Amino acid sequence: MGDDDLPHSTLTIRKADRTTDIGRADFNSVDLRVANADNDILPGDDGTAFSEPTIPYDATYPYNHVYESEGGHIREMDDTPSHERIHERHSSGSGYEIHPDGSKVTRVKKDNYDLITGDHYVHIKGDQSTTTDGGVRVFVNADGSTADGHYTIEVGNNANINIQVNKGNVNVITTQGDINLKSGANIQLDAAQGIYLRSKTVSAEIDGNWVERVTGNNTKTGKVINLN
C-alpha cells in the first residue's frame, strides 16, 4: 500500500467516503396533562449522533500483506504491531475492515440481502442504534402457516417503550381481532384537541370514584337514560 506520504488511491477514497454525524432516534420529554390531578413528566431520551470510525490504517513495511487483482479488488492482512487489521474491498467500494481492537466496519455500496433458510439469532450485549433514511417494513408470519408466529417485544425492568411521530399519525388497526390494553398502574390519555369514541357498546366498571369536570356543556342523549 505504501506509506502515508504516498497512500494508495483506495485509502484516500475510503477516508473521503467516511460517513459522520448520523442522527439517531431522539425522544422529547412530555408534560402530561393528568385529569383532576397533578401533571406528570414523561422523560426524554437523547439520541446523540454517531459516526463511522476513522480508518485505522497505520501500516509499516514489511508487515502489511496486500493483494490487488486486475479488477481493482483489494485484500489486506496487516500485521503491523498494535495496528493489526483485516481489510477486503470490492472495486465498487463495498467491503469490510476489522480494526485493531476487534471492531468491524462494513460498507455496502448498493443493496444488501440476507437470506436465511433456518432461524436467525442475534445477541447484542451493548446498545443498538438503527437510522433509516427511508421507510421500514416488517412482515411477520408472512406465510400464515402457523398459529404461533407472533411479533413479541419484551422490555426489561426500568425501561420504557417510546414512540414519537414528529409529523403524522400513529395508527393501530386490526382487521379481525381485539385490541387489548392492560396496565399495572394507570392509563393516561392527553389530547391537545378531542378524544372521540365510536362503538356499539361502552361498558365501564369502576370500583372507586368517578370524577368528571366539564367546563363547557355536558350533554347526554339516548332513548332511555337511567340515573340510579
Write out the three cell numbers for 21. Answer: 454525524
What is the pLDDT, as a whole number, of residue 5? 56
Looking at residue 45, what DSSP letter applies? B
What is the pLDDT, as a whole number, of residue 30? 87
What is the pLDDT, as a whole number, of residue 6? 61
- Alpha carbon distances (Å) from 39 to 25, 30, 35, 43, 143: 26, 10, 8, 13, 46
Measured between alpha carbons, how far is 184 from 75 in angstroms, rounded to an integer?
56
- Alpha carbon distances (Å) from 179 to 169, 172, 185: 18, 9, 18
- Alpha carbon distances (Å) from 24 to 130, 131, 185: 7, 6, 30
Mean per-residue pLDDT over the chain, rounded: 91
Measured between alpha carbons, how far is 65 from 111 in angstroms, rounded to an integer?
30
Least confident of 5-19, 72-86, 105-119: 5-19
Its CATH class, for the domain covering 1-194, is alpha beta
- Per residue in 144-172, pLDDT (tens digit) is 877 888 999 999 999 999 999 999 999 99
Domain ranges of the chain: 1-194
* Residues whose CB is less than 8 angstroms from the CB of residue 166 and which lie 6 or more positions away in sequence, other chains included: none
SS (H, E, C) 149-197: CCCCCCCCCCCCCCCCCCCCCCCCCCCCCCCCCCCCCCCCCCCCCCCCC
pTM above 0.75, yes or no: yes
The residue type at 184: G
